[in-house]
Structure 1
Amino acid sequence: MLAQPITVRQVNIFCEQRSIVTKREKQAIREADARKYEFLAAPNILSL
């Protein structure tokens, strides 16, 4: 019976680490999108 709580704890830690990684990935994607929009906006500002 002692083995079960340990495995559950390991799974919980793994899930927490995964959620942290996905948050970082989402932030990186958002930053990349922001840069993309800046590049797209720059020619429009110059054309005005």
Structure 2
Amino acid sequence: MIADIRRLSDEPIVGVISTHGHWDHVFGNAEFGDVPIWGHPVSWQRRPSR
């Protein structure tokens, strides 16, 4: 993921935004080290099954 970002910009990565709590979206956050990770207060909640 970081390699893909680097192909677009060499600017420092200053934060990560998690749009929702699905595992396939948030497990990669650890790759970003010590940068802040932001998410909506309810993004950690599991959506009810349909």
Same fold (TM over 0.5): no
By percentage of residues, which structure has more strand?
2
* Larger Rg computed on CA atoms: 1
- Structure of higher RCO (CA pairs closer than 8 Å, 6+ residues apart): 2
- TM-score, scaled to structure 1: 0.19
By percentage of residues, which structure has more helix?
1
